[in-house]
């Protein structure tokens, strides 16, 4: 089965969404599928949490009378031992290896499934449970659904399909001024159009009022054999340019079987699966099967729903949804729509006129209410950045610094926003000056503990800014400052409670040390880098996160390569090659093409240096092979600038090797 790419970025996905052709109304026919994970931050529990609620209810109804102190795990074990529940345990590794009974984790999805298969079987029970869960959320709506509504209103998505009962998708679209065509359950799928002229919402299981689970084998069979369901899903995939899945586990056989079948009929669609977990191994088998129907599929890892929609809105230059950024806009729309109706009664006219006047007063107040100019500037910097105008955001901050002459004289609100803008501008343009300004700003924030700021966020920014600065070829004096700051940051990070952040900062320190070694021609920094990278790999392990581990392994190769070239040591060159090969062995050109290309390019340089040192034909062949693979992988990743550079490098290398000239390697 074809494996999906795992290095897809939100920016790449946004490009695929934008590339869809527009209809005469300016709408793009992209489809988004929303699962339960997208609703968690709005107070709607996921399947696992619902299972823990239900199992207590089952226990109470069956007369077990659980006390308040009993955990869901204890209640489950009591019910299972009494024969009231099938085993929903996940065998531990020790049990699998030894065959003996051992403590097991509980698969709460199976508990959820079994609760509805065995106990909550009546439609009224199901609807009561889900209505109660929605009521407990007290009408909350999260960022994900506000942005989704905005994206639908602006024509980026034409169809939303959801497995959820909470009606947050409908709430989000209404808040953006759109009332979609609604298909409330399988029975109304005949309303769905594969190429709709108006936004449409498919609540595949129904809403809180009509929700119907289809979990048992008969229901699953009914879904995947239902003529309306087959026709609707196949029509959607046939006409869709891109399909994006957010917050969905893909464990429901009925819907997933329909998607897989449609994907087989219409292969190679742009399919993107957004996943909270950092590791693609947690993808369900059905999700893999669906993604496997396309050469253009990919997984976006490590993104919770709200963060994903924040980044997507930025990449699409949508910015903050109008329900938050301009809440009066929707009220204005409603008043205008009401005014456009035929109104004869003077009382109605008077009420509408009063509402219109009040809105005008609110707008005037809104325009003059912010009296703190610093907060106004900070807001403007953030607004530009969130709308995707990275250049405008950075330039606005730079102007503020120029006016004040000193970062220390700028308000903390502005500096906090400015640091992020500097980091993003430096990463985008590889601009050393942005790195220098961001570093200076970050130092000011970090050295002021009295300011109520998120120091964990600053720690992450320090590591990210360092990487951007190294890639921008910043001068040694700025790399030293970055190194000093990251070491200060590391002192405040607990390896036990914040292992991932600790490892990320160690990796950033390692990259800075390699850069400093190259800029100062000092081997001691490369020696230190190797030790730091190894510390990072104590957390960044290949079984946890292959890409982070491989990136650090690439760093080890870079440090060894520098020392080998400085000392003219062929044995160390071979060790560097082995370090790169170890990373390449775990990477895939299809799944991680960008990182694969980077490491192959570095391997190519090392093999060329080995050939220069010993003249072995095998090293020349390996250098050329690595160069070609680097070029092909950059093409696969659609990184065309890097691909052009890699192709030019490959051609130059061939000429130099054939002429036995010296090749000047360049770290990617």
Contacts 24+ apart (CB under 8 A), 392-396: 393/417, 393/421, 393/424, 393/425, 394/421, 394/422, 394/424, 394/425, 394/434, 396/421
Mean pLDDT by 10 residues, the chain (668 residues): 84 94 94 94 89 92 86 90 86 45 68 88 83 84 96 96 91 94 81 89 81 59 78 93 95 88 96 90 91 94 92 93 89 89 88 91 79 84 92 94 85 90 92 92 82 75 89 89 92 91 95 95 96 96 90 96 94 96 92 90 93 91 90 77 64 66 43
DSSP H or E run through 81: helix 72-81
pLDDT for the residue numbered 193: 87
* pLDDT confidence of residue 410: 87
DSSP 396-412: HHHHHHHHHSSGGGS-H
Other beta carbons within 10 angstroms of residue 480's beta carbon come to 16
Alpha-carbon torsion angle 309, 315, 317, 323, nearest 10:
10
Pairing of strands 105-106, 89-90: antiparallel
- Do 654 and 604 touch, CB atoms closer than 8 A? no
Token pair 């500096």 is found at 415
- 638's CB contacts (< 8 A; 6+ apart) are 12
pLDDT value of position 664: 41
Centroid of chain to Cα 325:
23
**pLDDT value of position 46:** 85
State CA 518 to chain mean position distance: 33
Tell me if residue 500 falls in helix, strand or coil. helix
Other Cβ atoms closer than 10 A to 504: 23
């Amino acid at each position: 089965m074809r494996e999906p790419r795992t290095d897809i970025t939100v920016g790449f996905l946004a490009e695929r969404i934008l590339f869809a052709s527009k209809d005469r109304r300016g709408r793009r026919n992209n489809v988004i599928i929303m699962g339960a994970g997208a609703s968690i931050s709005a107070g709607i529990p996921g399947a696992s949490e619902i299972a823990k609620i239900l199992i207590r209810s089952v226990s109470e109804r069956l007369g077990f009378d659980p006390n308040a102190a009993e955990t869901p795990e204890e209640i489950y074990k009591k019910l299972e031992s009494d024969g009231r529940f099938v085993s929903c345990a996940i065998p531990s590794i020790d049990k699998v290896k030894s065959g003996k009974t051992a403590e097991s984790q509980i698969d709460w999805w199976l508990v959820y499934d079994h609760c509805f298969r065995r106990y909550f079987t009546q439609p009224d029970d199901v609807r009561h449970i889900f209505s109660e869960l929605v009521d407990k959320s007290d009408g909350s709506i999260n960022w994900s659904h506000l942005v989704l509504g905005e994206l639908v209103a602006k024509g980026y998505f034409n169809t939303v399909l959801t497995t959820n009962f909470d009606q947050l998708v409908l709430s989000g679209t209404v808040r953006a001024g759109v009332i979609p065509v609604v298909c409330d359950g399988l029975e109304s799928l005949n309303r769905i159009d594969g190429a709709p002229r108006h936004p449409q919402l498919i609540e595949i299981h129904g809403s809180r009022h009509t929700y119907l689970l289809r979990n048992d084998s008969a229901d699953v069979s009914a879904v995947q054999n239902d003529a309306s369901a087959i026709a609707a899903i196949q029509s959607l995939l046939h006409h869709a340019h891109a399909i994006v899945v957010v917050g969905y586990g893909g464990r429901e056989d009925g819907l997933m079987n329909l998607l897989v079948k449609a994907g087989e009929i219409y292969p190679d669609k742009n399919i993107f699966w957004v996943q909270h977990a950092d590791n693609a191994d947690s993808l369900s088998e059905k999700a893999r099967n669906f993604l496997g129907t396309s050469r253009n599929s990919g997984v976006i890892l490590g993104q919770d729903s709200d963060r994903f929609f924040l980044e997507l809105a930025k990449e699409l230059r949508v910015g903050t949804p109008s329900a938050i950024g301009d809440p009066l806009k929707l009220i204005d729309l409603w008043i205008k729509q009401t005014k456009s109706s035929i109104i004869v009664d003077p009382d109605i006219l008077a009420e509408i006129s009063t509402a219109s006047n009040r809105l005008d007063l609110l707008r005037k107040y809104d325009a003059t209410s912010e009296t703190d100019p610093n907060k106004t500037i900070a807001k403007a910097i953030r607004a530009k950045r969130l709308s995707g105008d990275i250049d405008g955001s950075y330039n606005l901050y730079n102007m503020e610094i120029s006016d004040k002459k000193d970062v220390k004289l700028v308000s903390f609100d502005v500096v906090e926003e400015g640091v992020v803008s500097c980091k993003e501008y430096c990463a985008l343009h590889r601009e050393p000056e942005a790195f220098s300004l961001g570093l200076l700003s970050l130092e000011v924030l970090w050295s002021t503990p009295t300011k109520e700021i998120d120091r964990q966020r600053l720690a992450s920014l320090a590591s990210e800014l360092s990487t951007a600065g190294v890639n921008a070829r910043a001068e040694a004096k700025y790399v030293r400052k970055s190194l000093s700051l990251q070491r200060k940051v590391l002192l405040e990070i607990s390896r036990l409670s914040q292992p991932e952040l600790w490892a990320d900062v160690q990796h950033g320190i390692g990259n800075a040390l390699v850069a400093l070694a190259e800029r100062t021609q000092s081997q001691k920094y490369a020696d230190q880098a190797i030790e730091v990278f190894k510390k990072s790999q104590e957390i960044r392990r290949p079984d946890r996160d292959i890409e982070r581990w491989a990136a650090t392994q690439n760093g080890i190769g870079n440090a060894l390569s520098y020392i080998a070239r400085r000392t003219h040591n062929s044995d160390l060159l071979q060790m560097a090659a082995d370090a790169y090969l170890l990373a390449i062995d775990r990477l895939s050109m299809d799944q991680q093409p960008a990182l694969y290309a980077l490491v192959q390019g570095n391997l190519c340089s090392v093999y060329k240096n080995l050939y220069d040192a010993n003249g072995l034909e095998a090293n020349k062949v390996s250098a050329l092979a690595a160069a070609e693979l680097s070029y092909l992988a950059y093409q696969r990743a659609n990184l065309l600038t890097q691909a052009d550079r890699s192709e030019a490098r490959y051609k130059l290398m061939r000429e130099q090797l054939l002429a036995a000239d010296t090749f000047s390697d360049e770290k990617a």
